[in-house]
Amino acid sequence: MKPQAVKGTRDILPDEQAAWQAIITAAETTFGRAGVAKLTPPIFENSEIFTKSVGDSSDLVVQHEMYSFSDRGGRSLTLRPEFTAGVLRAFIEHGFHTKASPVKLWSHGPAFRAENVQRGRYRQFHQINCELLGLDNPLLDAEAIALLITFLQTCGLSDLTVRLGTVGDPGDRAAYNHYLRERLEPRREQLSPTSRERLERNPLRILDSKDPHDQELLKELKRPLDFLNAAAARHFEAVQRYLRDWDIPYLVDPSLVRGLDYYRRTAFEVHHRGIGAQSALGGGGRYDGLVASLGGPPTPGIGWAAGIERLLDATRQEGSLEVPSPGPQLYLVPLDEQAVAEVARLAHRLRRRYHVEYAYQPRKVGRGISDADRRRARYAGLRGSRERARNSYQLKRLASGEQREVAELELGDFLADA
């Protein structure tokens, strides 16, 4: 049997690398312009970093979605299912709270969740992650959302919908959970099995149910927005004022709940219509209290993550990502045996400054030019006995077919100007 990648994981093939790099470059540009510094945490952490942060009622814990294992010393380690916990662990470990607030950090790389695989939902996927720490000012919430939108626009996307919600403070949430339990307990048998379980652990998550019967039962009921304390309501209003002021369109989604338990107050997601049921390109929210629960000094914060696979899917739907051509500037074609060593030597010299490739065997003119074309080269450089006698190359510009002879010693200057 042919070997195969593990279900829910995939290779990023050579042809896809330029598009991936374009996404990373868009992130570097967006964050660079906003003074967000890069931090690269390890891919695995002590398991308790994640179990303490994501919450007992998150799918990651309830549905055993974390990849955990014991190392040789018997310690429990976990492949990161997300970045936030690791970034906050690093923030605490390196005493970043002593730096001027806000501390703004971004990261990217793979994350791992043992989920049911479908379009847009994989077991190894990749995130661009952003965390803004140290201020409870609603200005930071608006800045986080604006950064996500700017990043997605820099990737060339325009068909974006921002859904904005709030899950309130812990007291509001407890009151809302109490309310949902009171209303839904008598109708428990009518709920879907997942929602029945959520009724025990975290009734708020029932709002997330895709089951039409659940949604019917929820129709008459109040939303977390109706349970906000006065300060949380003012905070939510202020975030919206900033977004309006910056011309960032958004929809208030009174039912927005997130899959992780650490959120307080602001929660948001950005969706794209073209990528199927898993339509969230990115999402995040405020998590005041999380740094303290990991053993750090009380520090408010807000952040988000976007999934690179979903983003690439969306850019394919919109045909919007600008990817620089990966082809060589010059593709050298030896027309006889002796020319093979000559083009190889020239290529190694020119590669100090230019992207140059060559054929490893003698080629006929037509075949050599079509090889160059297939590699998306700008120029084909032909070398045969006639060129050897004049120590030159015949250069053919592939886009126009235009041809000229250039002395070997002048090729470097020619490519610099080409």
For position 89 contacting ligand HAM by CB under 6 A, the verdict is no
Region of 183-191, 274-282, 381-389, 399-407 interacting with ligand HAM (CB under 6 A)? 274-282
For position 284 contacting ligand HAM by CB under 6 A, the verdict is yes
Residues 6+ apart with CB under 8 A from 24: 108, 128
For position 113 contacting ligand HAM by CB under 6 A, the verdict is yes
Taking the complex as a whole, the smallest distance from the CB of residue 54 to ligand HAM amounts, in Å, to 8
Taking the complex as a whole, the smallest distance from the CB of residue 194 to ligand HAM amounts, in Å, to 17
For position 86 contacting ligand HAM by CB under 6 A, the verdict is no
Taking the complex as a whole, the smallest distance from the CB of residue 167 to ligand HAM amounts, in Å, to 12
For position 299 contacting ligand HAM by CB under 6 A, the verdict is no
For position 303 contacting ligand HAM by CB under 6 A, the verdict is yes
Q: Which is nearer to ligand HAM, 224 or 301 (CB)?
A: 301
**Binding test (CB under 6 A) with ligand HAM, winner from 30, 78, 107, 127:** 127
For position 82 contacting ligand HAM by CB under 6 A, the verdict is yes
For position 280 contacting ligand HAM by CB under 6 A, the verdict is yes
For position 122 contacting ligand HAM by CB under 6 A, the verdict is yes
**Binding test (CB under 6 A) with ligand HAM, winner from 57, 78, 129, 177:** 129
For position 102 contacting ligand HAM by CB under 6 A, the verdict is no
For position 131 contacting ligand HAM by CB under 6 A, the verdict is yes
Binding positions for ligand HAM, rule: CB under 6 A: 82-84, 113, 115, 120-122, 125, 127, 129, 131, 259-260, 280-285, 287, 303-307, 309-310
